[in-house]
Structure 1
Amino acid sequence: MPLGWHPWTVDWYESFRRSPQACSLSTELDWHALRDALVVHSRFMWTGSTEAAAEVRMRLAAFGTTPAERQRLRMEVEVLEPYPVGESGRGGSHASIDPDRRRRLAKG
C-alpha cells in the first residue's frame, strides 16, 4: 500500500470538516474516531479491499455521512448552498468514478 493519504480520502475529509456534521464533533476523542475511520477509508481507496469497505461503511455511519444515517441518528443539518444534481462545486460530478477505481471494484 502506498504511504500517505489517498487523494479521495483527503477530499472526503475536506468536505466533511466544512459540513454541518463537523459541528457535532465536540471533543478531541470525536476527531480521533474520525481519523481512525479515515485511515480505513484510505486503505480501502488504495486497495479496494471489500473487508475495508465494510469497516468504512460502519465507521462513517456514526458521523451522519448519508441522508439515511442522519435520519437514523435523528441528526438535522442545515444546507446553506445546495449543489445542483451532478455538480460538486469544484467542476466535477459526484456521480463520476475514475476508471482505475472502477476496475479495482470490478475485481472485488
Structure 2
Amino acid sequence: MAGNGPPPKARKVRRNADPVAQTVLRWERAEAPELPEFRIERDGQLVEFVWPERTREWWQMWIDSPQSEHFGASDWQYLLDTALIHARLWSGDLSAAAELRLRVAAFGATPADRARLRMVFAEADGADKGRGSSGGPSARERYGTLRSLPGGKGNGSA
C-alpha cells in the first residue's frame, strides 16, 4: 500500500504574468512651480484670477510634504491642475469635491492613501528601534536566553 495522506502539492506557477514588459524611466526631481497669475473671463470681461487663501496654504502644504521629494515635472503639472479644482471647491463649487478627493489620493494625501500606495515615513522605520508597533521589548529581548532541552521534547522525562 502506498503512503498515507494526500499527494504533495505541486509548485504553483504564476499564470497571470504581465503581457507587457515594464518601462523603466530616468527619474528627474522637479521644483514646485508657483501658483500662476492668469486671467479668467467673468461677465464678458477678463479679470485677474485670485487664488483662495486656503488654496495657497494647501499648495504650500504639498511643497513642504515628504511626498514632494519624489515629484517630477508632470506630477507638479497635474497637482497644479488639481489646485484649480481645490480653488473651485473653496470658492463654493461643492461639485469639485469628488474629483479633488480622487486626485489628491494619487499623491498620498491621507494615511489610507499612503497605505494603499505603500508609502511609509522614514522616521517610522527606526522609531520603534525594532520593537514592533507595541513599543514593548522585542521577542529576542524577551526570550533571547531560552534554550531547548536535550531530546527536544518537553521536560526530558519519557
Q: What range describes the TM-score normalised by the shorter chain of this pair?
A: 0.5 to 0.7
| Aligned-residue identity in percent | 38
From 56, 62, 83, the equivalent of 1:10 is 56
In structure 2, stretches of 5+ residues that fail to align are 1-41, 43-47, 125-158
**Does the residue aligned with 1:65 lie in a helix, a strand or coil?**
coil
From 58, 68, 84, the equivalent of 1:39 is 84
Structure with the bigger percentage of strand: 2
Higher relative contact order (CA closer than 8 Å, sequence separation 6+)? 1
Rounded Cα–Cα distance in structure 2 between residues aligned with 1:79 and 1:44: 33
- How far the C-alpha of 1:77 sits from its partner, in A, is 2.3
- The answer on whether the counterparts of 1:61 and 1:69 sit within 8 Å (CA) in structure 2 is yes
Q: Where do 4+ consecutive residues of structure 1 move more than 6 Å? A: none
Rounded Cα–Cα distance in structure 2 between residues aligned with 1:77 and 1:13: 20
- How far the C-alpha of 1:37 sits from its partner, in A, is 0.7
Corresponding residue for residue 72 of structure 1: 116
- The answer on whether the counterparts of 1:21 and 1:77 sit within 8 Å (CA) in structure 2 is no
Which deviates the most, 52-61 or 15-24? 15-24
Q: TM-score, normalised by structure 2?
A: 0.45
**Does the residue aligned with 2:49 lie in a helix, a strand or coil?**
coil
- How far the C-alpha of 1:76 sits from its partner, in A, is 1.4
In structure 1, stretches of 5+ residues that fail to align are 81-108
Structure with the bigger percentage of helix: 1
- The answer on whether the counterparts of 1:20 and 1:78 sit within 8 Å (CA) in structure 2 is no
The answer to whether structure 1 residue 20 and structure 2 residue 66 are counterparts is yes
Aligned residues: 78
Deviations 1:69-90 (A, max 9, x none): 000100112469xxxxxxxxxx
Q: TM-score, normalised by structure 1?
A: 0.65
CA RMSD for the aligned pairs? 2.1
- How far the C-alpha of 1:3 sits from its partner, in A, is 2.6
- How far the C-alpha of 1:50 sits from its partner, in A, is 2.9
